[in-house]
Amino acid sequence: MSTPGIAVIGGVDTHTDIHQAAVIDSVGRHLDTQSFETTSAGYEQLLAWLRAQADVIAVGMEGTGAYGAELARFLTVNGITVVEVDRPDRRARRAHGKSDPVDAYAAATAVLSGRASGTPKSRNGIVEAIRALRVVRKSAVKARTQTINQIRSLLVTAPSALREKLRGLPTALLIDTLARTQPTGDLTDPAFAAKTALRRLARRYQALHQEIKEADADLAPLVTRAAPSLVALPGVGIETVGQLLITTGDNPDRLRSEASFAHLCAAAPIPASSGRTNRHRINRGGDRHANSALYTIVLVRMQCDPRTRDYVARRTAKGMSTKDVMRCLRRFVAREVYRHLKNHRCLNPHADQVNHPIRASRAGLQVRPSMPIRRHAGRTARPDEVVVLVLHDALADPRPANSSRALLSKHQSILRVLNPAEEPAVLLFPGVLIERREGVQVQEGLVPDIFDGMDVDLV
């Protein structure tokens, strides 16, 4: 049973067979760590163990898109806010060592400090189905390319009679001709062995080609259903939309702005100025598959879209290089794509079944709409009372200006965000009352120093 009045943050280091979990308190003290199996029973045990520690504010997790995908889904469905945590940087790892408990504690600390604030992909809607199908299609396309390259390589060294017969044939006719051959002879004869190998490769190519066609037939309606207006844009196809949807995920609201989407797709410009030179360069980070999709859209538009052709001509006449023109075009396409993705927020048909938390802070604090709203205005909180924040409007920005904003930013505590109420916002610390009127003012007491260093970004 959890300890009343105490809140903890969890961290999980995910692996194939074992997940290592750890918990820390609101000031970063290590409380406990334990390992759990990656099974349904193990997930239940991990959840029960977390709730037995105290009230769980959030869980930082490494590998939410790999080993921790199912655990992230399980915790989210059960009302636990999951925060995506990147692996520690190498210098910190060299300084503190490497082990599963160390990594689990580091994940929890990253959430507490605000270094980790990303919302993981929900991976339980139509976009996840698209991703699974595209994995198979992509591997089939790669194998088909390897197959045709092997065929052409064998033809280079094949006997001249065979080369002369097949030279100059287009790919489709070459594959059909080789697949219909019926070579006879002794396998010790290099010519017969070459014909046999080419026949097998041709039939492999045909099988892969058919597999790709079936995958395309499955993907087209799914992608069109997920983002119909995006598919209708000039230069945009099923493959590029599918990749951009996968990059965004089933919960596109996890991207806070159009700029964050551009940075995720490596389309955000990077300053490269020095002295009298004022320029930007290509971003070499981000999701390279999404960047490749934007690049494909730009290439198609440069050939077929009149607006894009006019833009290229105009910027080239001003002395801009083709590389920089394409960088600018990728940024424009990212902006256009983001608007259409945000118009199709309901990519997950099961969204209503998930207790999806409103982003309450950079630490990803959990919204509990069922909690009763208590009126505390006009008195000082008792030392044993839990910190509470009540907002007029959950979508409004309640951050006050000037010194009061700095006060909240410096002394953010573990909060419970309740439903909007027709009353002033009240923030209670142990022994302290902060009430919002024109701004936020401390009425009595002092804000405890244990909250120093915690950041707040309420939305």
Helices (H), 265-389: 288-304, 306-317, 322-342
The predicted pLDDT at position 411 comes to 33
The better pLDDT of the pair 402, 154 is held by 154
295 confidence band (pLDDT: 50, 70, 90):
very high
User: Alpha-carbon distance 119 to 431, whole Å?
Assistant: 33
2 confidence band (pLDDT: 50, 70, 90):
low
The better pLDDT of the pair 90, 447 is held by 90
188 confidence band (pLDDT: 50, 70, 90):
confident
* Contact (CB, 8 A) for 11 and 111: yes
The better pLDDT of the pair 95, 361 is held by 95
Q: Which of 458, 255, 257, 252 is nearest to 360 (CA)?
A: 458
The predicted pLDDT at position 4 comes to 53
Average pLDDT, stretch 6-10?
Answer: 87
Percent helix / strand / coil, the chain, rounded to 5 = 50, 15, 40
* Percentage above 90 pLDDT, the chain: 49
The predicted pLDDT at position 5 comes to 52
User: Alpha-carbon distance 394 to 65, whole Å?
Assistant: 29
Q: Is 278 a residue whose pLDDT tops 90?
A: no
User: Alpha-carbon distance 424 to 417, whole Å?
Assistant: 14
Kindly write down the DSSP assignment for every residue of 109-172, as one continuous string: HHHHHTS--BPPP---SHHHHHHHHHHHHHHHHHHHHHHHHHHHHHHHHS-HHHHHHHTT--HH
User: Alpha-carbon distance 222 to 225, whole Å?
Assistant: 5
The predicted pLDDT at position 455 comes to 34
The predicted pLDDT at position 352 comes to 39
Q: Is 60 a residue whose pLDDT tops 90?
A: yes
The better pLDDT of the pair 88, 319 is held by 319
Average pLDDT, stretch 243-254?
Answer: 90
Segment 158-179, tens digit of pLDDT: 888 888 888 889 999 999 999 9
Count of CB atoms situated within 10 Å of the CB of 135: 12
379 confidence band (pLDDT: 50, 70, 90):
very low
The predicted pLDDT at position 344 comes to 60
Give the pairing type, strands 440-444 and 432-436: antiparallel
Average pLDDT, stretch 249-269?
Answer: 88
The predicted pLDDT at position 446 comes to 34
Q: Spell 320-347 as b/e; 16+ CB within 10 A means b.
A: eeeebbbbbbbbbbbeebbebbeebeeb
Average pLDDT, stretch 205-228?
Answer: 95
Q: Is 438 a residue whose pLDDT tops 80?
A: no
The predicted pLDDT at position 276 comes to 79
Q: Is 445 a residue whose pLDDT tops 80?
A: no
Provide the whole-model pTM: 0.69
The CA-atom distances, in angstroms, between 175 and each of 139, 147, 199, 202, 213 are: 20, 10, 8, 5, 16
The predicted pLDDT at position 268 comes to 86
The predicted pLDDT at position 372 comes to 29
Query: Tokens at residue 180, please?
Result: 């219909």
217 confidence band (pLDDT: 50, 70, 90):
very high
Q: Average model confidence (pLDDT) for the chain?
A: 76
